[in-house]
Amino acid sequence: MNLIEVLTEARTEVLDEATERLGRSHLGHYDASGAEEQRHRLERLFDVVIECLQHRDLAVVVAYAEKIANDRFNNGFGIDEVQTAFNVLEESMWHQVADAVAPSELVESLGSLTTVLGVGKDALARSYVSLASRERVPSLDLRAMFRGTGG
């Protein structure tokens, strides 16, 4: 089976595992939304990943990550909360792929999966930084770190 077939067939298992892992992370905003909403959000991200893999087009995950960043930022979510959601889904997908994809296709499959989610996490982070830079964010005073270094 190829990557898309494996993930599509393992959809329920992937989402069950990812939802459980997200719940165990005890992230304030995700905990407040409940397991059903957490699963729904993971399902949408799962679908975006599959769409990107099917069409070999990363634009969908970039647009989705930017939308999620805007929504979650404006609702007070920390970037760590959203990145964790991406990470638990990625890890759950990896488990299924590593167990089911032929060894000869494993490197390419995991590379493709990691690329899609990595590009999504990058777009998410860039969007968060952009949104945060519009806010009044105090800068860090790092002078104490460099005292006595001769610099």
Please report where in the chains the tokens 């995991």 appear, as a residue. Answer: 110
Please report where in the chains the tokens 């519009």 appear, as a residue. Answer: 134
Q: What angle do CA 113, 117, 118 make, to 5 degrees?
A: 110
Task: Answer whether residue 148 shows pLDDT above 80.
Answer: no
Q: What is the DSSP string of 28-62?
A: HHHHHH-HHHHHHHHHHHHHHHHHHHHHT-SHHHH
Is there a domain that residue 91 lies in? yes
Higher pLDDT, 125 or 138: 125
Is there a domain that residue 150 lies in? no
Return the CATH number at 79.
1.10.490.70
Structural domain including 72 reads: 3-133
pTM equals 0.82
Q: pLDDT tier at 139 (50, 70, 90 boundaries)? A: very low
